[in-house]
Amino acid sequence: MATGLTPNLRTDRIFECPSFVYNEVYQVDGQPRPHWLKFLHALKTAAPSEFARRNGQADRMLRENGVNYHSATDSGEGARPWRLDLLPMLMTAADWSQIELGLSQRARLLNLLIADIYGPRTLIDDGTLPPEVLYANPEFLRPFCDIRRPDLSPMFFYAAELARSVDGQWWVMAYRAEAPAVPGFALENRIVSSRSMPSAFKQIQVERLAPFFARLQNSVRRRVPRPTDSPRIVLLSSGSAHPYYFEDVYLARYLGYTMVEGGDLAVRNDVVFMKTLSGLVQVDIVMARCAESGLDPLELGGYAAHGVPGLLNAMRAGNVTIANTPGCGIVGAPVFMAFLPQLCQRLLGEPLMMPSISTWWCGDPISFQHVVSRAADLVLKPAFQKSGGEELIIGEMSPEQREKTLARVRAEPYAWIAQEKVARSGIPVWSESGIRCGHAAVRAFLVEDENAWHLMPGGLIRVAPDTGPMQLSVAAGEGSKDLWVLADRKVDPVSLLTPRDLPAELRRTSALFPSRVADNLFWLGRSLDRCDFLSRLVRALADRLIGESNVDLTEIRFLARALSEMGQLEPGFVVDGMESQLPSLAEALPIAVYDPNEYGGLARTVKDLTRLASLVRDWISPDTWHRINVTAESFRASPVKEWHDLADVVSSTNSLIGDLASVSGLISDGMNRGPSWRFLELGRSIERAGATARMLISAELKRGPVSPALLKTMVEILDVRMTYRFRYRENLQRNAVLDLAITDDTNPRSLAYQIDRLVSHVDRLPGYEARPLRSEEMRLVMEAAHAVRMLTAEDLSASTPRNVLVALKTVDDSMTKLSDTLTNKYLVHSGVPRQFTDNSGGTP
């Protein structure tokens, strides 16, 4: 170590922390801890402004990657961005391996405990565990009693929450064996921080995370229930409404597993299948990232989105592995922490190496007395709640509250535990106003592979603003940090993104394309196009309503009619003699456009866009996802709610049309031409053809000659001004406009063009090749194609273009039917599962 630096580093302490907590950086004598020296030196070298800039960059990177712990919900709010402070927490490899020893022992112990709980329950017989701990525990789920595979330990992966007290001792605050959350957040933190860190830090040797994930993959693969070279592994997510949805997407992508929700899986003859566009594909391993109590509605009840009826029987039959084995979750209940020392002696014959935070079970009268006498120093918690739940801090209560709380505990003492409080250690936290002290909650992850447990060399640090108790949710606290485990040897500088020892698993996207995803992409395509079309109509109308002079009523009537057809305006505006309606229309339009509750309106469609995009985030490029988000964000943010007027509408729709074009560009340039693209395009073309046909119908061609102004509007909506002027100059003729709109297959906005594309998409739908006769959907597309293709030049120029109207009606109808047919055939493989129970308990 460069000793010359030391005095300097000591006098310029980067932060101060209270004396009653352990200072992670400085010793009691004020000297930096040796393992921080290199880092402190680098920190001094990097200019503060540089560090601030880099922190901002990291924030932006996280935002753009859509990292959050509440995916875009319906309201578009709820999503809270992930926050990362670039200053890491440092640990030496030696300290970390001590923790690994302790947590590995705990893992072995928990596995034996789980096996006994869902097996012979000898621990109750011999009194090591009081019966209430299981029998009064609502999380002790009887259907899990006979699903264990004897050749596998039930738990192979878990997470522990650690804190360091003032004497330097590490304590296990909690642990989780059910869908252990957040290694994905830790990984994302590492990737972002390694990209953003100023170069001064690059020479610090930090253990890489990639080998840990390779182990995880290895361990999962070893659990395959049948001999196969390429086991099919899915990651079962709780869905986009779940706070950790981002992490599900992230992990699935990183590990190369297909992400599914309950509805994507089906059990047939005790075998688990995934519903894909090309049929059912057998699944070998389900990595469950969801509450185990909802896994199988048949046996466990409930209607959880991730539930798969029959899943437990498939597991009993040995046809699928669920990892971790359902039932592991129970040991995460804090009540077990009160018994771990005894359990360790009894099950492993050795003392517990790493202590849990001192825990008393109120169901034991002596412990309860102790709890009452020390109540002010303790935290009361529900004994059986796995994810922490309520935390009652007696010391902060008024005497009445305190009595009330203790009465609650007395009524059901076995359902409560009390825990000591720990003042977490102090770490430097970056903020705009300088470095200050935060308190570290360390989340560590372990995986079992080849009969040994391995601790991830790194972890997630959550920062608590004070030393009080902190909830377990990753959302709690002020932000996060990366944990660097300093290597005592040279570490390969291999990037995490393409780890050398983690070859990409080759995927056949088409075979593993879930129907649900196809469904959502189809509707995403429809919404994209609807949004564009609607914007053009709205812009044209707003434009004409602003223009004081030369308002041609037929134009306005046409636009209002087209918009009311689409649900954006009340039909009441479209009446003969519209003149008197104009002021109210000018007032109503902006309100309708920005009202997200106006079904069929622009704001609603934009909202749908983000919702649908969030559901298929795993299947569209990050750039596309990002672009859609930005588009929706700027539309939402445009005018102040109460004050928008027609000018705002014009400017919003202008930028919306531009933004949507760049989304389209990303899709057409970048999206792989697989089934996901095809379903998106099907949606777009169906929407475009249908909307164009309906718009032309709204022009009321039957009413006689069409005014030049109206023709001009149609040309504008169809976005063919350039082509028109090029071909016909300013000579606006109805037949020429109709040709461009309907029959000209060189114009990408025409019906003929869109329908041609539909023919080619439908022709390539999965399972289409082998059919002897044309399918229903093909017949519908051909009906539309036929109607358009059979139109003659005379039909277009006839004074009452009856045949044109018939063709438009045919296109409109067949698009509606085509959408339904595709949905029924490919997209909705099943409805919502329901339950029935024979309730015949009624005899005298």
Point out which residues bind other proteins (CB under 8 A).
124-125, 127, 131-132, 135-136, 138, 142-143, 145-146, 266-270, 297-299, 301, 309-310, 313, 316-317, 830-844
Q: Answer yes or no: are the C-beta atoms of 635 and 648 closer than 8 Å.
A: no
CA dist 492 to 95, 340, 374, 387, Å? 21, 39, 52, 37
Closest separation in Å from C-beta 584 to other proteins? 45
Smallest separation (angstroms) from other proteins to the CB of 119? 11
Closest CB to other proteins among 137 and 713? 137
**What angle separates helix 582-594 from helix 602-615, to the nearest 10 degrees?**
20
Based on CB atoms, which residue is closest to other proteins, 201 or 416? 416
Nearest-approach distance from CB 317 to other proteins, in angstroms: 8
Comparison of 146 and 350: residue with beta carbon closer to other proteins: 146
Contact between residue 254 and residue 260 where contact means Cβ atoms under 8 Å apart = no
Closest distance of CB 116 from other proteins, Å: 14
> Minimum Å distance from CB 834 to other proteins?
6
Which CB atom, from 432 or from 838, has the smaller least distance to other proteins? 838
Q: Is 716 in contact with 541 (CB distance < 8 Å)?
A: no
CA atoms within 13 A on the CB side of 42: 17
Closest CB to other proteins among 76 and 131?
131
CB closer to other proteins out of 312 and 680? 312
Q: How far is the CB of 397 from other proteins (least distance, A)?
A: 24
To other proteins, the closest distance from the beta carbon of 825 in angstroms equals 14
In whole angstroms, the minimum distance from the beta carbon of 406 to other proteins comes to: 17
Please say which residue, 307 or 426, places its beta carbon nearer to other proteins: 307
Smaller CB distance to other proteins: residue 146 or 763? 146
Smallest distance from the beta carbon of 380 to other proteins, in angstroms? 20
Q: List Cα–Cα distances, 361 to 100, 346, 353, 403, 786, in angstroms.
A: 27, 19, 21, 19, 77
- Alpha carbon distance 585, 578 (integer Å): 10
Angle at 707 between CA 706 and CA 711, to 5 degrees: 80
Whose CA is closest to 443, among 102, 165, 174, 166? Answer: 174
- Half-sphere exposure (Cβ direction) of 363: Cα atoms closer than 13 Å: 21
Nearer to other proteins, 202 or 268 (CB): 268
CB of 307 to other proteins, least distance (A): 9
Identify the three-state secondary structure at position 327.
Answer: coil
- In sequence order, the 6+-apart residues with CB closer than 8 A to the CB of 627 are 659, 662, 663, 666
- State which residue, 297 or 382, has the beta carbon closest to other proteins: 297
Smallest distance from other proteins to CB 585, Å? 44
Residues 6 or more apart whose CB falls under 8 angstroms from that of 5 comprise 37, 40, 41
Amino acid type, 189: N
* Nearest distance from C-beta of residue 136 to other proteins, angstroms: 4
- How far apart CA 347 and CA 539 sit, in angstroms, is 73
Contact 356, 337 (CB under 8 A): yes
Phi, psi angle pair for 595, to nearest 5° = -90, 110
Q: What residues contact residue 206 under an 8 Å CB cut-off, 6+ apart?
A: 458, 484, 485, 486, 487, 491
* Residue 553: partners with Cβ closer than 8 Å, 6 or more residues away: 578, 579
**Eight-class DSSP state of 716:** H
When the beta carbons of 154 and 469 are compared against other proteins, the nearer one is 154
Instruction: Please identify, using beta-carbon distances, which residue of 304 and 632 lies nearer to other proteins.
Output: 304
Token couple for 342? 């005894």
State the chain's maximal CA–CA distance in angstroms.
Answer: 99
CB of 417 vs other proteins, minimal distance in Å:
17
Nearer to other proteins, 668 or 830 (CB): 830
236: closest CA among 165, 179, 279, 177? 179
Q: Which is nearer to other proteins, 280 or 487 (CB)?
A: 280
Q: What CA–CA distance (Å, rounded) separates 85 from 56?
A: 10
Compute the least distance from the CB of residue 127 to other proteins, in Å: 7
Least separation in angstroms between CB 840 and other proteins: 4
Nearer to other proteins, 90 or 265 (CB): 265
Which C-beta is closer to other proteins: that of 124 or that of 491? 124
Runs of H (alpha helix) within 574-645: 582-594, 602-615, 622-637
- Least gap, CB of 146 to other proteins (angstroms): 7
3-state secondary structure of 462: strand
With a CB cutoff of 8 Å and minimum separation 6, the contacts of 541 are 556, 559, 560, 563, 589
Q: Between the CA of residue 258 and those of 286, 501, 760, what are the distances in Å?
A: 10, 21, 28
State the first-to-last Cα distance of the chain, in angstroms, to the nearest integer: 88
